[in-house]
Structure 1
Amino acid sequence: MADRALRGVGLGSKTFEDEQGVEFAERRQIEFDCPKGHHFAVTFALEAELPTEWECKKCGSVAVRSDGVVGEEKETKPARTHWDMLRERRSIPELEDILNEQLTKLRESDRLY
């Protein structure tokens, strides 16, 4: 078994392939500015879709692109409230009936004490 051992090599940590004939993707750097004054650059492939925001490497704040490119604002729906969901399931007269039933139960339980 000793004759098959790879001496002086950390298994799994190195590759013996060379970079000859390997063509790397073209790249470009996009610079970002953090609201806390940090400035940094991130490297992207040329064909990659470029983000307009990136997390600051130093403080974790949301940094924006230095070149002034801003993203499109997405149309957002207003948050559905409990009342909105209730109105999808019940009509106003039904809700009034339920309210009256619950008030009656509450008043009757007060008389017991």
Structure 2
Amino acid sequence: MAERALRGARLGTQSFEDERGVEMAPRQQVEYVCPDGHTFTVVMADEAEIPYEWEDPKTGQIGQLANGEKPEGKAEKPVRTHWDMLLERRSVDELEEILTERLELLRGGEIGPPHLHRPAKKSAAKKKSA
């Protein structure tokens, strides 16, 4: 096992490359202000879209952009319920007709759980003859 060990270098985050000839991406410092007046800066790329709010890495408070205007809120779509989606496919008259048909089938014992079915008249006649 000792023969396979690397000598003269640590394993992990050590890099043998230097930074000569490497051009860093252009950056900017963005200042945020917390509700208690504390300010902090965040380094971001020049082409990055700057968010209005950012969490302070030290205190965990949410800071707002120091010299920025609050963006307008997005227009939120109203929540579509099952009923709304159903009305997109059928009219109320069609739904009432379907409901009437299904209730007749349910009451007649043709659909639905067996324990809710009423005994058929034929089976009652068979019991009397037996």
Which one has more relative contact order, counting CA pairs under 8 Å at least 6 apart? 1
Aligned match of 1:69: 69
CA RMSD of aligned residues (A): 3.5
Structure 2 unaligned regions, length at least 5: 110-115, 119-130
Structure 1 counterpart of 2:27, one-letter code = R
Aligned match of 1:79: 79
Q: Secondary structure of 1:98's partner?
A: helix
Aligned match of 1:40: 40
Q: What CA deviation, in whole Å up to 9, does each residue of 1:22-78 have, x standing for no partner?
A: 22223221122345766432110222222222244343x654212233234323221
User: % of aligned pairs identical?
Assistant: 52
State the number of aligned residues. 111
Aligned match of 1:95: 95
Deviates more, 1:103-112 or 1:47-56: 103-112
Deviates more, 1:47-56 or 1:32-41: 32-41
- Normalising by the residue count of structure 1, what TM-score does the alignment of the two structures yield? 0.67
Deviation at 1:7, TM superposition (A): 2.1
Alpha-carbon distance in 1 for matches of 2:27, 2:106: 70
Structure 1 unaligned regions, length at least 5: none
Deviation at 1:11, TM superposition (A): 2.5
Distance 1:88 1:41, change over 3 A: same
